[in-house]
Amino acid sequence: MSKGRFTLPGEKGLEKEMALLIEKWGADAVRDCDGTELSGEAASLGANVYSTLCLIRADNEWAKRHPECRQQFYLMSEPMTARSDILEIDIMKGYFAQQFLPNDNCNLSRYWQVYDRTEGVPVPVTRWSYRDGVVTVMEASHYHVYTVSFLAYQIWEPVSMRNHITNGWAEEHKLPVDIRYPEAQDHLLNVLDEWLAAHPSTDVVRFTTFFYNFDLVYNESGKEKRVDWFGYLSCVSPLALTQFEQKYGVTLAPEDFVDAGQYNTLFKNPSDKYLLWIEFNAEFVSAFAKKCVELVHHHGKKALMFFGDHWAGAEPYGRYFKEIGLDAVVGAARDGVTTRMIADVPVAETEVRLHPYFFPDVFYEGGDPVFESERTWLKCRRALLRSPVQRMGYGGYLSLALRFPDFVEHVAGITEQFRQIHEMRRGAEPWCAPFKVGILNSWGGLRSWQTHQVAHSTWNQRCYSYLGILEALAGLPFEVVFLSFDDVEMHGVPDDVGVLINAGDAGTSWSGGDRWRNPRLVARLRKWVDMGGGFIGVGEPTASYYQGAFFQLWDVLGVQKELGFTAGFRRPALKTEGSHFITEDVSTEIDYGEGSSMIYASRQDTLALDVASNSLSLACGAFGNGRSVYLAGLPYSLQNSRLLHRTLFWCAGMEQDFFVWNTSNPMTECSLYPDASVLCVTNNSGFQQKTTVFSDDGGNFELVLEPYGWEWIRTDV
């Protein structure tokens, strides 16, 4: 039995069981969790000790003495309709009074804003006043809708708030300290220094994470109201706004943050101001994080960042990340996408904390944690075979997991597989198709493996039909690059990219919205496809209603969407007869998820490979020397992953090479590591599968794989 690469979550009082599991699962490290601290005994178990530290809530006494250093937030009141000259708005209505406290101690005329949403203009400061939680609008326009944008102190650090509420903790509410204030920085460095000195047995300091949490807002009942795992609202304060203005000469208004109540979510095309705000905070956060990491190193320990809570500003795919000097990054993985999101971070060591967490939602009497785990592991394994992660672990309560002996056995098998990947590939890179796949959206590289995410890995109705593309790609033999429209407009499509994918709902940052009205962008892309590129559009690609067209690249895509303006135009949606390379492995009805509707052929030579409700759901065609495919949606499934695999090869005009280091059976996949002369063939299904494996010289062989099983085969014998 192998050992290593595994971090065991510790639980106080379970030292004996921990020792057994260290053996059973081959753990070489133990760690504490939020809300637990390991006993001294844990340190003597012979494994490295990972200790959690969240600096901004580490010294609540100091935070209480320095209320001016609490983090702030921008909130917009619930919109209200004026029914008379006077409108009174209870600004905290709908918000959790234990989470936020309006900051009325600042210059309200500068940092607060009252908006007439019906006119779309701010209300002059002379026409409103604030007192005791209520903004009073004077001379209101009757039946106009008004909102108040206001600064609020965060009086309960949101991650501890969530855990506190979820687990019924009784501890004092923690205040989040804002490192924007020099005195806060000085104090936190001292806290860290003392903490490091006080934890001699800690080998690795696990920052969870740094200084500003993503946007997590609770409603008046203390339940989640909204979450944006990519939000930067916690970074806001009058001081930050002043420094921003000094640095860039740009003034940010409250509206730049509340964004008419949409708060610049990841799904919106980011404004130039908002991108600058991210940049501003990323630079600042990285600089102070670097100081903290240096201090950790000074104490002879390693520094690890949890890619989760409080990661705003510590953008792993941003330009300042490497300067922090971290030794490792760990993050939660529930699927292939999140595994790749962690695996591809430019850092020496990465670690995944696999789902399911040992929490009562899965580990209940009669529950089936093995089933949950199997589903997750199959997705993660695909990703791990493409991009290595150095370590793995779990989260939650060991005591819960121990009640399920079959799960304990099952995890032993996963840890074996995890280590075997490393042992077999020996650092070698997997073979990839001879062209890269580019994901094209408004964010580009900054959001590598982070498209269509609300709270990462959480299922969302507006996301799953698109997220399946990345989930498939996480385990397919392609190098994936994330490109922004700016990248393409300025530099063109990189030479090694063979196929571009633009996928998303109309208007969102993923589809691109009004970016598609840019003549330079559309002309560059048309030319690129015309010269031989491949273009895949999913859902509502290249969509912006302009000059009579909705999908701006209708000529490339070969399809268009009827918005209801030209319903009298005759455009029958008829399935093209005959078989096609793309759909050759389709055995059951294709699942397009939420799908699309009213899609018709915009060119005569478009092939309609699938049609439902008079709408093309899968279509393809040629544009000059290039090719394009339209898909109504692509949730992840084995069939859809195979469909995408074929689609990519077809779009690249390389369908003759599809069966190079590939398998015949869509339930199976293979990964070749040429430099290690080893091949891994996996069965991604819960049934025994027979498959033929094709090499690159026309040779092939047959294999029978057990359910969820794999085979490693040497290619040099």
Q: Give yes or no for a contact between 148 and 77, defined as CB atoms under 8 angstroms apart.
A: yes
Q: Is 701 in the site for its own copies (CB under 8 A)?
A: no
Q: Does 562 bind its own copies (CB under 8 A)?
A: yes
Closest CB 47 distance from its own copies, rounded Å: 37
Q: How far is the CB of 408 from its own copies (least distance, A)?
A: 35
User: DSSP 3-state assignment of 150?
Assistant: strand
Q: What is the DSSP letter of 96?
A: -
Tokens coding 237: 């304060």
What are the distances in angstroms from CA 30 to CA 42, 45, 130?
8, 9, 52
**Cα–Cα distance for residue pair 704/706, rounded to 1 Å:** 7
d(CA 493, CA 440): 10
Distance CA 678, CA 691 (A): 18
Task: Give the DSSP letter string of 159-207.
Answer: HHHHHHHHHT--SPPPPPB-TTSHHHHHHHHHHHHHHHHH-TT-SEEEE
| 142 is an interface residue for its own copies by CB under 8 A | yes
Beta bridge partners of 607: 620
Please select the residue that binds its own copies; options are 249, 300, 427, 568, rule is CB under 8 A: 568
According to the binding rule CB under 8 A, does residue 133 interact with its own copies?
A: no
Can residue 259 be called a binding residue for its own copies (CB under 8 A)? yes
At position 246, the amino acid (one-letter code) is Q
Which residue, chain included where needed, has tokens 């339209």?
630
CB of 221 to its own copies, least distance (A): 11
> Would you count residue 268 as binding its own copies (CB under 8 A)?
yes
Span interacting with its own copies, options 184-192, 303-311, 503-511, 671-679, rule CB under 8 A = 503-511
Binds its own copies by CB under 8 A, chosen from 33, 161, 378, 454 = 454
Give the contact letters, 514-533, x = binds to its own copies (CB under 8 A), - = no: ---x-x--xxx-xx--x---
Least distance to its own copies, CB of residue 4, Å? 38
574 binds its own copies (CB under 8 A): no
Compare residues 24 and 225 and give the one whose CB is closer to its own copies.
225
Query: Which of 66, 226, 291, 403 touches its own copies by CB under 8 A?
Result: 226
460 binds its own copies (CB under 8 A): yes
Residue 569 near its own copies by CB under 8 A: yes
- Count of chain residues binding its own copies (CB under 8 A): 69
Minimum CB distance to its own copies, residue 215 (Å): 8
Rg, C-alpha atoms of the chain? 27
Say whether residue 591 binds its own copies (CB under 8 A): no
Give, as one character, the DSSP assignment of residue 537.
Answer: E
User: Which of 66, 144, 299, 375 forms a contact with its own copies (CB under 8 A)?
Assistant: 144
Nearer to its own copies, 138 or 563 (CB): 563
Q: Which long-range contacts (CB under 8 A, 24 or more apart) does 363-367 make?
A: 363/396, 363/397, 363/400, 363/401, 363/403, 363/404, 363/407, 367/404
318, 396, 504, 653: residue in contact with its own copies (rule CB under 8 A):
504
Rounded distance between C-alpha atoms, residue 126 and residue 25, angstroms: 67
* Residue ranges in 77-106 that form contacts with its own copies under rule CB under 8 A: 79, 81, 83
- Options 168, 249, 366, 564; binder of its own copies; rule CB under 8 A: 564
Q: Which is nearer to its own copies, 128 or 284 (CB)?
A: 128
3-state secondary structure of 265: coil
Q: Which is nearer to its own copies, 433 or 493 (CB)?
A: 493
Torsions phi, psi of 182, nearest 5?
Answer: -55, -40
Instruction: Give the residue carrying structure tokens 């990189």.
Output: 494
Per DSSP, what are the bridge partners of residue 499?
Answer: 437, 534
- Should residue 459 be labelled a site residue for its own copies when binding is judged by CB under 8 A? no
Angle at 348 (CA atoms; ends 347, 353), nearest 5 degrees: 80
Sole binder of its own copies in the list 45, 135, 227, 648 (CB under 8 A): 227
Q: How far is the CB of 557 from its own copies (least distance, A)?
A: 12
- Regarding 547 and contact with its own copies (CB under 8 A), the answer is yes
Give CA 307 to chain center in angstroms.
10
- Residue 36: is the preceding peptide bond cis (ω within 30°)? no
Q: Which of 90, 224, 327, 429 binds its own copies (CB under 8 A)?
A: 224
Rule CB under 8 A: is residue 24 a binding residue for its own copies? no
The phi and psi torsions of 359 (rounded to 5 degrees) equal -120, 160
Nearer to its own copies, 95 or 320 (CB): 95
| Strand partners for 435 | none
Does the protein bind its own copies through residue 542 (CB under 8 A)?
no
CB 229, min distance to its own copies, A? 8
- Coil, strand, or helix at residue 528? helix
Instruction: Give the binding range for its own copies (CB under 8 A) out of 27-35, 114-122, 280-288, 382-390.
Output: 114-122
Of residues 508, 485, 497, the one with CA closest to residue 535 = 497
Contact between 491 and its own copies per CB under 8 A: no
User: Is residue 228 involved in binding its own copies (CB under 8 A)?
Assistant: yes
Residue 168 falls in which region: left (phi positive, over 0), alpha (psi -120 to 50) or beta: left
Beta-carbon contacts of residue 85 (< 8 Å; ≥ 6 apart):
138, 139, 140, 142
The answer to the question of residue 309 lying near its own copies (CB under 8 A) is no
| Residues 367-426, interacting with its own copies (CB under 8 A) | none
Tell me how far, at minimum, the Cβ of 82 lies from its own copies, in Å. 9
Told to check if 455 binds its own copies by CB under 8 A, we report yes
Residue 542 CB coordination number (10 Å): 25
Kindly tell me which of 365 and 605 has the beta carbon lying closer to its own copies: 605
Tell me how far, at minimum, the Cβ of 116 lies from its own copies, in Å.
8
Q: Among all residues, which ones are annotated catalytic? A: 309
Distance CA 597, CA 498 (A): 28
Nearest distance from residue 331's CB to its own copies, in Å?
19
Is 424 strand, coil or helix?
helix
Count of Cβ atoms closer than 10 Å to residue 175 Cβ: 25
Please, which of residues 153-182 interact with its own copies by CB under 8 A? none
Alpha helices in 438-540 (DSSP H): 464-475, 485-491, 519-530
Q: Which residue, 122 or 238, has its beta carbon nearer to its own copies?
A: 122
Least distance (Å) between residue 549 CB and its own copies: 7
Say which residues have a Cβ less than 8 Å from residue 631's Cβ, sequence separation at least 6: 536, 537, 538, 539, 592, 617, 618, 647
Tell me: cis bond preceding 356? Omega within 30 of 0 counts: yes
Under 8 Å CB-to-CB from 510, ≥6 apart: which residues? 267, 441, 442, 451, 452, 466, 502, 503, 504
- Tell me how far, at minimum, the Cβ of 442 lies from its own copies, in Å: 12
Piece of the chain touching its own copies by CB under 8 A; list 337-345, 379-387, 559-567, 707-715? 559-567
Residues in region 594-633 near its own copies by CB under 8 A: 594, 597-598, 613-614, 624
CA–CA distance, 677 with 686 (Å, rounded to integer): 28
Q: How far is the CB of 268 from its own copies (least distance, A)?
A: 5
Task: Please identify, using beta-carbon distances, which residue of 83 and 298 lies nearer to its own copies.
Answer: 83
Task: Candidates 358-366, 420-428, 460-468, 629-637: pick the segment binding its own copies (CB under 8 A).
Answer: 460-468
Nearer to its own copies, 397 or 516 (CB): 516
Q: Which residues bind its own copies (CB under 8 A)?
A: 79, 81, 83, 115, 117-120, 141-145, 219, 223-229, 259-263, 265, 267-268, 454-455, 460-463, 504-508, 517, 519, 522-524, 526-527, 530, 545-549, 555, 562-570, 594, 597-598, 613-614, 624
